[in-house]
Amino acid sequence: MKIVLMGYMGSGKSTIGKQLAQSLKYPFVDLDEYIEVQEQLSIKELFSQKGELYFRKKESFFLQKLLKEHQNLVLSLGGGTPCFAGNLEALQQQGSVSVYLKSSIKVLTDRLFKEKDQRPLIAHVTEKGQLEDFIRKHLFERAFYYNQANIIANTDNKSISEIVSNLSEEVC
């Protein structure tokens, strides 16, 4: 079974994905990290040196490659992955179980403001209110895609182990 985690940056896709994979004894792949290894550039460098279009093409290519290569897999996507290049349709055609890790705007804002310097998309943000507006706009644009997931898991006020336990029960 292929379990694909999607959601906004800071929603816990990588953290939850690693623990879910461990509990299911499946391999875990973070798509962004995989792309960085394959391309030998960071995501930030790919965007700045080769542009978003190049990145989105590679993202789609590597997503399809991973889905074809693995029978069992927990895969965490980049926040925008399901929104581009027919990636959501590819997930559905491959029979993956998609999971939207849904966090509130407040939780995302609090979490991301602390780590904004490590995230190129929001590194320029100086005020929490500005970040909240940025997240609100992005979530509005992406909700159409995220809400098509097979499972929508609200992560607010839940521990990582609680989320992993709930997802393990739902997907098996």
Contact in structure between 39 and 46 (CB atoms under 8 Å): yes
Q: In the structure, what pLDDT confidence band is assigned to residue 116 with cuts at 50, 70 and 90?
A: confident
Around Cβ 163, how many Cβ atoms within 10 Å? 20
Q: CATH no. for residue 91?
A: 3.40.50.300
Which residues sit in the known binding site for Mg(2+)?
14
Numbered residues of the known binding site: 10-15, 32, 56, 79, 119, 142
Parent domain of 126: 2-171
Annotated binding site for substrate: 32, 56, 79, 142
Residues 6+ apart with CB under 8 A from 150: 97, 98, 99
Alpha-carbon gap, residue 152 to 120, rounded angstroms: 27
How many angstroms separate the CA atoms of 29 and 164, rounded?
A: 16
CA atoms within 13 A on the CB side of 53: 0
The pTM of the full predicted model, rounded to 2 decimals, is 0.94
In tens, the pLDDT along 16-73 reads 999 999 999 999 999 999 999 999 999 889 988 998 899 999 999 999 999 999 999 9
Q: Which residues are part of a known binding site for ATP? A: 10-15, 119
Q: Into how many domains does the chain fold?
A: 1
